Amino acid sequence: LAKTTQPISMDSYEGQEVNITCSHNNIATNDYITWYQQFPSQGPRFIIQGYKTKVTNEVASLFIPADRKSSTLSLPRVSLSDTAVYYCLVGNTGGFKTIFGAGTRLFVKA
Amino acid sequence: DVKVTQSSRYLVKRTGEKVFLECVQDMDHENMFWYRQDPGLGLRLIYFSYDVKMKEKGDIPEGYSVSREKKERFSLILESASTNQTSMYLCASSLGGDGNQPQHFGDGTRLSIL
């Protein structure tokens, strides 16, 4: 299973763009990269998934370089409600054992 | 929208009791999962199921069992609850296929074993 490494915490201010980078050096050829968001006392919520280059949805963008050994979740113009823990996962095509690391705790200040 | 419903938000049980945590999903997903989440340890997979009556151990199955008699329902059983099983328990479901399908989570059950 590909292990991921991401910063433990980040601080930002309202209105700024936030970029959270995740390293996954052992990603397999068929693995996708998936990001989740978790608020206190709730389950994680799927944000975005990608395989290569760039993916954008109404919530975020995901940038994946050609070697796929890292990825960057970009949150445009964050608000206080974006304060949460963000998890980067790499899919396991051989089965369903998913490793959630400790995630990145994002704190958005006014 | 996928809805994953866990039967209780908060539960208090005593050491040695048999505890049942129930999870139901409404999107006909093939895969269902049980995790526990503890401070500083992230989410850890206990068991998952990829079909009715099928189950596989995750990373920390000891002290737990599961049951999946119907596609929409996945139960986690603590055979004889112990204090070290006090935790937040999260259920998730996903479409069948490979392990890349996004998982949809319930809001969790905070279980306290006294």
Token pair listed for A27: 């990603």
Taking any CB pair shorter than 8 Å as contact, residues of chain B touching chain A are 4, 31, 33, 35, 40-45, 48, 50, 56, 58-59, 90-92, 94, 98-100, 102-108, 110
pLDDT digits (tens, 9 = 90+) for B70-96: 999 999 999 999 999 999 999 999 988
* pLDDT at residue number A92: 64
* pLDDT at residue number B38: 92
* pLDDT at residue number B5: 96
Does residue A32 belong to the interface with chain B, where contact is any CB pair within 8 Å?
A: yes
